[in-house]
Chains A and B, each alone.
Chain A
Amino acid sequence: MKEQFVKTEELSFSYQAENENEAIPAVKNLSVEFSSGEYVAILGHNGSGKSTFAKLLNLILEPVSGRLFVDGKERTAELSEGELLDLRRTVGMVFQNPDNQLVATIVEEDVAFGPENLGYPREELRKRVDDALATVGMTEYASYEPHRLSGGQKQRVAIAGVLAMTPRCIIFDESTAMLDPSGRREVLSTIRRLNREEGITIINITHYMNEAAEADRILVMNDGELLFEGTPDEVFSRRDELLAVGLEVPQSAELVFRLREAGIDLPTEALSTPEKCAACIADAYFAKRKGGAVDG
């Protein structure tokens, strides 16, 4: 078992309604654990509380109740400034809109923004910026103005800005939702590399099923609660439950379910990738043919 990195106990949060005194719950009694180096996806429809949960993890929002442990230490709203900065350095965040998270007018200065705030000396800043830009493959754009970059490039700069703080975990809050397919590929392959090569814990909040399929584990959220969790194979085998909360399964898995409904006996244990689905369908086909049931 890997070392535990984040743990929440009964974490809850409510937004204050504007006119009335009632509170609108966004996250309800969430107890989850992430281990170090894990790649987790959080699925949920818009408004399921998944973004709120992400903001609780680095105390951008203060939980109403419950406890949060990061890297073995309990983090509460009464942290000292130093501890709070340490938490935010350790758990970095990349948001949805690439335009709204770049601060500086030049790429390398934006990447330097986090480390600058942490007060590293100049030589260290230089090294961190150069390393971070190299990791996301944006070195040649170091002196560009952000508004001349594509969406995918902007998000890679945002990732570099987080990387330059040498975090142990990065939360991606629907970071690919506003990108085109090539931008999405760029960002996803960067995420994969950070997880595999740098050993960074990844929490990817998304509503793209095929993105979630890349994770080690998927948490499915609905109405602020954890609905269920499991490996992609396990989660995508519960297609009807996903449909009921406004989600779906990837196209390949959907096909297997429809064939099953039409009376073809197919197993649904391993449907997280097209390859697995193809294997499942092909096996059934050849088994049937051997039995002589398929004509022509």
Chain B
Amino acid sequence: MKGFTLGQYYPGNSFIHRLDPRAKIILGILAIVCTFLCKTLFSFILLFALTLILAILSRIPLKILLRSLRPVLFILLFTSLVNIFMTKGENLLFEYWIFHVYEEGLWNALFMIVRITSLIVMTGIFLTYTTTPIALTDGLEQLLSPLKKLHIPVHDFAMMITIALRFIPTLAEETERIMNAQRARGVNFSSGGLFKRVRSLIPILIPLFVSAFNRAFDLANAMECRCYHGGEGRTRLNVLHYKAADFIAMILLLGIGIGLFFANRFTFGGMIR
């Protein structure tokens, strides 16, 4: 269990890994906007190229990047089918019974696939793959810190997420230990009907809750002993600093977004409807 890693973070030291987490959050949002700006074949080609370049820059193996698409595979398939069969256009390619496939439908399906894939891969590259959950939390806290003036407890939320991240491996280990202890007392987690299986979780969940509460109590004590009194007057050891590269990256991506918008003027091939 010592090898437990949270989320999809892929350790590395690429250009993208080194960017400031705040910059990466903004870059992630820009990337999402980019995917929605594309309307024509030409801009989609550019978007696809952008995704590829980012993938190369991040030095994350393609196999791992594609793995992130697995959860949306069904959505990809479904939207493609819907687009292929439901889009009405002028250029009928194929007809059978109630199914009509138009050229525009094929284009739409292709564009949706490129759009969703790029969206997921690019946000993955900027956020989950190259940024640790804790850095993301820090980044979010500092990006949202102006909201503190509106009495929104940004610090408290960030502290909660930090503690949750800190304790996930501990509780995972604990769960395994309790499961082993109960299996040794004859609980079978993998057989029986649904009802029996759910019931077999009780001997796990109760001890887990009890222990989590005890831990929370201990931790609260320990934090109080270490002078924790909320976010007020608190300083930070590791403060995030924007570097030139962060600004360059943001400006570059902004520029690319604008470029994509104008690329829509080239209307050869298909376009989205």
Touch test A–B (CB under 8 Å): yes
Contact A112 B224 (CB under 8 A): no
| Separation of A95 and B226 alpha carbons in the complex (Å) | 12
The residue from B162, B169, B234 contacting A117, defined by CB atoms under 8 A apart:
B234
Instruction: Using A103-B162, A147-B169 as known contacts, say yes or no to A108 and B237 having CB atoms under 8 A apart.
Output: yes
- Within 8 Å CB of A161, what residues of B? 226
Q: 1/0 per position for B228-249, CB-CB distance to A under 8 A?
A: 1100011111110000000000
* B188 part of interface (Cβ distance < 8 Å): no
| Separation of A119 and B215 alpha carbons in the complex (Å) | 26
Contact B165 A105 (CB under 8 A): yes
| Separation of A232 and B178 alpha carbons in the complex (Å) | 40
Q: 1/0 per position for A82-108, CB-CB distance to B under 8 A?
A: 000100110011010101111111101
Q: Which residues of B149-163 have CB atoms within 8 Å of chain A's CB atoms?
A: 162-163
Interface residues of B, dominant DSSP: helix
Closest A residue to B169 by beta carbon equals A147
Nearest CB in chain B: distance from A182 CB, A: 17
Instruction: Using A105-B134, A119-B233 as known contacts, say yes or no to A100 and B227 having CB atoms under 8 A apart.
Output: no
Nearest CB in chain A: distance from B225 CB, A: 4
* A120 part of interface (Cβ distance < 8 Å): yes
Q: 1/0 per position for B155-189, CB-CB distance to A under 8 A?
A: 00000001101100110010000000000000000
- Within 8 Å CB of B233, what residues of A? 119
| Separation of A95 and B162 alpha carbons in the complex (Å) | 21
Q: Which residues of B204-237 have CB atoms within 8 Å of chain A's CB atoms?
A: 214-215, 218-219, 221-229, 233-237
Nearest CB in chain B: distance from A189 CB, A: 23
Instruction: Using A105-B162, A105-B165 as known contacts, say yes or no to A125 and B237 having CB atoms under 8 A apart.
Output: yes
* B67 part of interface (Cβ distance < 8 Å): no
- Within 8 Å CB of B236, what residues of A? 112, 116, 122, 125
| Separation of A113 and B223 alpha carbons in the complex (Å) | 9
Q: Which residues of A108-126 have CB atoms within 8 Å of chain B's CB atoms?
A: 108-109, 112-122, 125-126
Nearest CB in chain B: distance from A272 CB, A: 31
- Contacts A103-B222, A105-B165, A105-B166 aside, 5 further interface pairs with beta carbons under 8 A come to A113-B228, A114-B227, A119-B234, A119-B235, A122-B235
Residues of A at the B interface (CB closer than 8 Å) are 55, 58, 60, 81, 85, 88-89, 92-93, 95, 97, 99-106, 108-109, 112-122, 125-126, 129, 145-148, 161-162, 165
Complex A-B: 24 CB contacts under 8 Å: A89-B227, A95-B218, A95-B221, A97-B218, A99-B170, A99-B215, A100-B215, A101-B219, A103-B166, A103-B219, A105-B132, A105-B162, A113-B226, A116-B236, A116-B237, A119-B233, A119-B235, A122-B235, A122-B236, A122-B239, A146-B166, A147-B173, A148-B2, A162-B225
